[in-house]
Structure formats: C-alpha cells, structure tokens
Amino acid sequence: MAVRVQAQHAAVPRRSDAFNSDCPAREVLDHLTSRWGTLILTALDDGPLRFSELHGMIGGISEKMLSQTLRTFVRDGLIERTVEPTTPPRVSYELTTLGQGLTGSLQQFLAWIGRHAPEVMAAQRRYDRAKQ
C-alpha cells in the first residue's frame, strides 16, 4: 500500500520543486511567507515608502525586524533601497519589477484571509470546544 501511495505522489507534477528541502525556491518561499514578509511587500504596492512610514503602517513589527526583512528583500531583488544624498540622508524602499509581479497574488491572498478569517476563527473555537 505504501509503495502505491509513494508512486501516486511521484506521478503528480509540481509547479516548483519547493517541496524538496534542498531546493533554493524553499528559501524564497520562507522569505515571502515569513510573519512580516507579505505585509511589507503589499504595503509597498502603492509606491515607495520611507522606513518610518512602513514601520507606522505595519502594526506590531519591531524596527529590528523591519530592517532585517527589508534587507532580505533587497538581497532577493524584490525591493530597491534608495538613499537620497541629503542631510540627514532620506532612505526609501520600493518594489522592483520582480516584486511588483508578486504583489497582485499577495493582495489576493490577504483579501482571502480578510473574507474568511471569521470562518477560520469559528472553526478554531469549535475545535477547541471539542478538545475540552
């Protein structure tokens, strides 16, 4: 029986090899689905923002975590960091073309969560009551 199940899984084509723990796509997946990744990327969907604007927009994120996540996305090529030579320097962040290609899907993801959060929370309550 187990052999047949394994054979069935092997025959299912995958769009990405992110299911393989050694695949580099897994690292990208981890960045995008991190606690703050989706929120940061979608916050930049309307245009460039300064660090303080992003920090104020995303409730609960620490400055350290925002800085770390922005640095990760700059490295991934999803966000561009621009420093204006003023005193003090003005730093802004905006989506690259690569990042812009992603945010439509992330907006749909957040919209789904917004629509279905009450249903998920109700399911959680039912589950918790049944476990008592």
| Per-residue pLDDT of the chain in tens (132 residues, 90 and over written 9) | 444 444 445 555 556 678 888 888 888 999 999 999 999 999 999 999 999 999 999 999 999 999 999 999 999 999 999 999 999 889 999 999 999 999 999 999 999 999 999 999 999 999 999 988
Amino acid at 39: L
- Quote the longest CA-to-CA distance of the chain: 69
Q: What is the pTM of this model?
A: 0.81
Report CA-CA distances (Å) from 79 to 13, 18, 35, 45, 100: 31, 22, 17, 11, 9
Amino acid at 77: G
Strands lying side by side in the sheet with 79-84: 49-50, 90-95, 79-84
Tell me the CB-side half-sphere exposure of residue 51, using CA atoms within 13 A. Answer: 16
Q: Which residues are registered as beta bridge partners of 46?
A: none
